[in-house]
Structure 1
Amino acid sequence: MTQTILITGASSGIGKATAQLFHDNGWNVIATMRTPENDTELSALKNVLVTRLDVTDSATIASAMQAGIDKFGKIDVLLNNAGYGAYGPLEAFPMERIRRQFDTNVIGLIETTKGVLPHMRANGAGTIVNISSIGGQMTFPLGALYHGTKFAVEGISEAMHYELEAAGIRTKIVEPGMIATDFGGRSFDFVNDEEMTEYQPVVQALFSRWGSPDAGANASPASLVAEVIWTAVTDGTNTLRYRAGADAVELLDNRKAADDATFIGGMKAQLGLT
């Protein structure tokens, strides 16, 4: 029987590339997004259902899953991909935007997972793939909110790895490095208050680094992450973590090898903050 994957955040970037890859490999795809009416490509593909799912809207989670089951019979894999990054001095963020970051990247992931687990338990099988980041195991300045959510995804996923195994359900974490997607555009939320003068040297240093000509030199295409997701889903192992991109491998190896003072000192030196 043809297998089915449900993908959140499939309108662009990693989600869209993964939908295309799984479709090309003969899978049924439930490609979900907040504005499915804007899609012109995935909806034209056979065995792809494009439907609305906003991870902050409980009703859309339930309806998207039911629509997928009604069309394809079951859901074998859930890819929790929807998310965005909030950066800036923590003090400058209003609480409603802080809550939005955690509601999207953490609570939304949890609720979507909870929504599919009864179905997978009844089938005695399934795979949950959660998109984390190198930012789930290391941090950059001004990323308290984004990194907080991705560290949470790592902990949630690792704990789930234990408990879901008894139900025949695998849990996987994919950790991309820098990816050539629109993360710096609509998937990026930056807040600053220039009157908080103490934070401005860090803000300027970070944007100088991100705006440099070589900032995206090591960025991997979204298709590379899709291939890592494909491996995580199909390799038949209980491996928990998968890195995506040469920079992810290098940075996470360096972080693992360094103590806190060494790593933080190196980061500050790179940004000219020493």
Structure 2
Amino acid sequence: MGTILITGASTGIGKATAKYFAEKGWNVVATMRSPEKETELHNLQRVMVLELDVEKKETIREAVAQGIDRFGKIDVLLNNAGYCVGGVFEAATEAQINRQFGVNVFGLMNVTQAILPHFRANKAGTIINISSVGGRITFPLLSLYHSTKWAVEGLSESLYYELAALNIKVKLVEPGNIDTDFTGRSLDYAYDEALTDYKEYNDSFLLKVEENFKDPAKVSKPEVVAEVVFEAANDNKTRLRYTAGQDAEFLLHMRKEKSDEEFMGFIAQQF
């Protein structure tokens, strides 16, 4: 047993993971931008709900300090907070680009840097970063999202070596399609009606995304990811990557077995 700090715990993967770890007897520091809106996690034993906005360093420092003060130490950091900007790259605004990286990459870096002094002092700790199957492969009209997840993959793999001598583990969890609000609250979309050359492809893409998220065979519950995160936190292995969801396993296996031309041809056909 131990203590885990989770970012983005108000919904989806973060909330499911907070509940799962609490059920398993762990202490949980469940953080989110608006803790006053949370109605469920407050009622769970071993769960502390705190404000943390990954783009505001003062809230990160305060959440880490409060978590340590309450539970004595933090054993695992789960960098889960994130969202997606989809759509036509040419139509993306500077604000959309900056915020996509500000949350998914720079925010993750902010939280990681804030916890590292504590892990170094303890000579132990595990950092688990929620990446995506989209950190290893790509789909059209998700260029900004993919670029952030590929950045998280690179950062994590490099830190894996850098922190190993300090007995700090770094792990990646790569989910596929998950039944969350990914296409709702957590999706921002870049499109400009004046860019008519993209219209047909854009409309086709949106239809395909809607089909995929309505097909139970292609979508996993967030609890599936929570179980994988729990495995990564507890298996005492030096393994870096963990896949979550049958679709992710299928796509990553295909990516490994096929040439670039074959795999990218397959993806192109889907859209």
TM-score norm. by structure 2 comes to: 0.97
Match of 1:21 in 2: 20
Q: Does 1:225 find its partner at 2:225?
A: yes
Could you tell me how far 1:263 is from its partner in structure 2? 1.8
Match of 1:188 in 2: 187
Match of 2:247 in 1: 247
1:48-67 to 2 correspondences below 5 Å: 48-67=47-66
Instruction: Supply the AA of the counterpart residue of 1:117.
Output: L
Q: Deviations over 1:59-99 (max 9, x none)?
A: 10000001101111111000000000111111111101100
Match of 1:268 in 2: 268
The sequence identity of aligned pairs, in percent, is: 52
Partners in 1 of 2:214 and 2:25 — Cα distance? 36
Worse-superposed segment, 161-170 or 196-205? 196-205
Contact 1:178–1:216 (8 Å) recurs in 2: no
Aligned residues: 270
**Is the alpha carbon distance of 1:215 and 1:270 closer, same or farther for their aligned partners in structure 2, counting shifts above 3 Å?**
farther
**Is the alpha carbon distance of 1:230 and 1:119 closer, same or farther for their aligned partners in structure 2, counting shifts above 3 Å?**
same
Partners in 2 of 1:175 and 1:152 — Cα distance? 13
Partners in 2 of 1:142 and 1:12 — Cα distance? 25
- Alignment gaps of 5+ in structure 2: none
Instruction: Supply the AA of the counterpart residue of 2:73.
Output: K
- Alignment gaps of 5+ in structure 1: none
Partners in 2 of 1:234 and 1:197 — Cα distance? 51
Could you tell me how far 1:215 is from its partner in structure 2? 4.6
Contact 1:141–1:202 (8 Å) recurs in 2: no
Instruction: Supply the AA of the counterpart residue of 2:44.
Output: L
Partners in 1 of 2:212 and 2:135 — Cα distance? 26
Contact 2:177–2:247 (8 Å) recurs in 1: yes
Contact 2:212–2:219 (8 Å) recurs in 1: no
Partners in 1 of 2:215 and 2:65 — Cα distance? 40
Instruction: Supply the AA of the counterpart residue of 1:253.
Output: H
4+ residue stretches of structure 1 with deviation over 4 A?
none
TM-score norm. by structure 1 comes to: 0.96
Could you tell me how far 1:259 is from its partner in structure 2? 2.0
Worse-superposed segment, 13-22 or 203-212? 203-212
Q: Does 1:131 find its partner at 2:130?
A: yes
Partners in 2 of 1:230 and 1:216 — Cα distance? 26
Contact 1:209–1:215 (8 Å) recurs in 2: no
